[in-house]
Amino acid sequence: MRGRGPVILAGEAHDTTAYFLLDYRTTLCYTIEKGVPLMGMDVYGINPVIKEYSVKPVRPDWTTATEAEKSVYFEAKQQYDAENPGVYFRANCWSWRPIHDRVYQADRECDLCIDEKTLELMGENSGAGLDNQEDCDRLAEALENVLEREDDILTWNCGDPKADREGWYKAHKEHALEFVDFLRECGGFEVC
């Protein structure tokens, strides 16, 4: 199948988010904003802390599952992810940019020494990230310190200070703090 691109095996829309099962490991998430799908950043924990009482839901067979069964699965998956914040973090492309910018800032301010290529690739869906909990804890601490000085809405202007503020990338500070929570329990991560 090389060169043909991903094959969508199944798809499902919930509220403003559409999920597409690309293969048995990858779910592509599009956030629908004003009718336009925006690809997002799916950040997966490599060795996440799983709560003792938490049970990962079994994905139903999309070809035979009813809409009700799919809905029950997505609700259970959402609950599982909430109980285990180190498993998965999601941000649409508009909110990831300001969060990613603050990761760069945290690295510079706290001398975390994250490899420049890794930092760059964390802005893509390439699988880049940190591979151990110790580095994630250091980033979480540094990022939290950076976020303490931020307003409720984080912005990123694509490096152009003259850009129209309405066109800037934006993220809620609360969402960035969810990424900090993710970092503290992920065991390393990959941005996919």
Quote the pLDDT of residue 15: 40
In a domain, 108, yes or no: yes
Quote the pLDDT of residue 166: 67
In a domain, 138, yes or no: yes
Q: How far apart are CA 192 and CA 190, in angstroms?
A: 6
In a domain, 158, yes or no: yes
Give how many domains the chain has, as a whole number. 1
- List Cα–Cα distances, 167 to 51, 156, 163, 171, in angstroms: 40, 9, 7, 13
Q: Per-residue confidence of the chain (192 residues) as pLDDT tens digits?
A: 223 333 333 334 444 444 443 333 333 333 334 444 457 899 999 999 999 999 999 999 999 999 999 999 999 999 999 999 999 999 998 899 999 999 999 999 999 999 999 999 999 989 999 999 999 999 999 999 999 999 999 988 877 767 766 668 899 999 999 999 999 999 999 999
In a domain, 17, yes or no: no
In a domain, 72, yes or no: yes
By CB atoms closer than 10 A (0-12, 13-18, 19+), residue 80 is: middle
In a domain, 2, yes or no: no
In a domain, 118, yes or no: yes
Q: How far apart are CA 8 and CA 19, in angstroms?
A: 10
Domain range for 88 is 41-191
Q: How far apart are CA 10 and CA 154, in angstroms?
A: 34
In a domain, 18, yes or no: no
